[in-house]
């Protein structure tokens, strides 16, 4: 995944915005359509003065496409060869990610409280860096540029502001505005080598109109927590560290919670969209 480039400083926040009350949600592994429907519902039902930080995994392993990303022939071939892998299209932009042996976070907060999409992107990535440093990871925000348009694996190139270790990407994120809320979600690699997964696509990264990223053999491999730390930390420790990083950066009041009945009802309706072939293969 990838989000808007962090190319401008955050404006001064309105004094009326104030600190948010944050709810932390931790879900069991879920299918791709359910995960995307829940993220969308959380943003659509976001309330002024409140933020939500959600952690989740995927079952089965799932290839997700950005909202407007063309589905390359190489992706179709990958899914034909590996029928156990699911496919879903995100409500956010960016490029393809294979969600397997990784942690996905989603952060939802009011646009007005964040100062806009780009300031939100910067602060969320700062929070991710802070949480990863609590795990002993020397993470930082990348000084890069946006990848070329068209299909291509997210994790083979770093955009400006994304989370890296050295020059190797560790977290890829994507963002959208839904109503009055910012939704940003992203993938923290635990053990899966995304470069190895996508390496055999070679020249198959071309969309229906013949365009393609042509970057499957880019110069820098992504990095995983297993490689950096010698092991994958327990799930509870991962959640605690990243949530603490968010608390340090955003401040406010924090508590563990669950989705409301209204959010779950909306998510159930949205699941029909995210589970449909018309949505997944729309481009």
| Residues taking part in catalysis | 154
Name the token pair of 249: 């950066």
Beta strands in 101-227, from DSSP E residues, in sequence order:
102-110, 140-141, 163-165, 168-178, 181-189
Cα-Cα end-to-end distance for the chain: 17
Q: Residue-wise over 30-44: b if at least 16 C-beta within 10 A, else e? A: bbbbbbbbbbbbbbb
Cβ atoms of residues 180 and 110 within 8 Å:
yes
Cβ atoms of residues 154 and 198 within 8 Å:
no
Beta carbons within 8 Å of 196's beta carbon, 6+ residues apart = none
Cβ atoms of residues 141 and 162 within 8 Å:
yes
């Amino acid at each position: 995944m990838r989000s808007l480039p962090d190319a401008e400083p955050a404006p001064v926040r309105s004094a009326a915005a104030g600190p948010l009350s944050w709810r932390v949600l931790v879900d069991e592994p879920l299918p791709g359509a359910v995960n995307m429907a829940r993220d969308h519902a959380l943003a659509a039902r976001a309330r002024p003065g409140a933020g939500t930080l959600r952690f989740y995994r995927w079952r089965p392993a799932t290839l997700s496409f950005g909202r407007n990303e063309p589905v390359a022939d190489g992706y179709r071939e990958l899914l034909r060869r590996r029928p156990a892998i699911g496919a879903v299209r995100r409500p956010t932009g960016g490029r393809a990610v294979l969600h397997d042996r990784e942690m996905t976070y989603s952060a939802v907060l009011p646009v007005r409280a964040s100062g806009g999409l780009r300031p939100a992107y910067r602060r969320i990535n700062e929070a991710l860096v802070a949480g990863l440093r609590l795990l002993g990871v020397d993470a930082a925000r990348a000084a890069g540029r946006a990848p070329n348009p068209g299909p291509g694996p997210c994790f083979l190139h770093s955009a400006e502001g994304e989370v890296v270790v050295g020059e190797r990407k560790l977290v890829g994120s994507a963002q959208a505005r839904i109503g009055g809320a910012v939704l940003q979600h992203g993938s923290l690699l635990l053990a899966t080598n995304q470069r190895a997964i996508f390496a055999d696509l070679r020249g198959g990264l071309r969309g229906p109109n013949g365009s393609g990223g042509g970057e499957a053999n880019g110069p820098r491999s992504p990095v995983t927590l297993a490689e950096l730390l010698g092991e994958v930390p327990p799930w509870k420790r991962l959640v605690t560290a990243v949530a603490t990083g968010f608390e340090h950066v955003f401040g406010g009041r924090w508590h563990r919670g669950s989705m409301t009945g209204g959010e779950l009802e909306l998510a159930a309706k949205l699941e029909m969209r995210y589970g449909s072939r018309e949505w997944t293969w729309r481009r």
